[in-house]
Chain A
Amino acid sequence: AQSVAQPEDQVNVAEGNPLTVKCTYSVSGNPYLFWYVQYPNRGLQFLLKYITGDNLVKGSYGFEAEFNKSQTSFHLKKPSALVSDSALYFCAVRAGSSNTGKLIFGQGTTLQVKP
């Protein structure tokens, strides 16, 4: 069965410091991996995805993520955090062989960036 784990409920960082939000996954076959961000009372905003190719994926707002097949991980990173990055972050996976759009989401990680 497909699953996604985000082991940290909350990550706290100081503005200007690097941030990492962790994600591990389990899926049959090649994974399609996604990161979304959710601000209060809003829908999900797409940040980036990994389908194939370079393991380091760059996305919106300076975020990037590294796909690690051996560790089945897809951690979200940013070199320098901003207070405005504070939000709820979701990792999601879809089996590459699936012809439906079914995304399996993690429980979410709240990122708190303090000035």
Chain B
Amino acid sequence: ETGVTQSPTHLIKTRGQQVTLRCSSQSGHNTVSWYQQALGQGPQFIFQYYREEENGRGNFPPRFSGLQFPNYSSELNVNALELDDSALYLCASSRLAGGLTDTQYFGPGTRLTVL
């Protein structure tokens, strides 16, 4: 098991609501990435945070936003939830050094269901 933790494990929301997912990174890691994994699909990159700033973003709308805190933990916020946002949300932590991101280690994920 990695040292990456995520909360909550499961979440049910209704369309139009807002949700916040949380991630604690592995000790010694300074970078957090978030991925969305729809059922039967591979994970899709949402964004990465380094030094409390967004450091790369995938093809996701602005209603997906994030934060990174001084202790390197992170939040993913999704506003105006849509049915298609139902997915497993994975957090991955890594170390960025010398301008390059090292191996990413994933948490267990948060299963979000939007009704």
Contacts and interface: CB of A to CB of B under 8 A. Distances in A.
B104 A101 contact: yes
Contact of B109 (A43, A45, A103, A104): A43
A94 B107 CA distance: 20
Contacts of A103: 33, 35, 43, 45, 104
B87 interface: no
A101 B43 contact: no
A107 to B, nearest CB: 5
Contacts of B107: 43
Interface in A82-104: 90, 92, 94, 98-104
B94 interface: yes
A74 interface: no
Interface residues of A, number: 24
Interface in B84-110: 90, 92, 94, 96, 99-101, 103-109
Interface residues of B, number: 31
Given A101-B31, A101-B56, A102-B56, A44 B90 contact: yes
A8 B39 CA distance: 17
A106 B105 CA distance: 17
Interface of A: 4, 34, 36, 41-46, 49, 90, 92, 94, 98-108
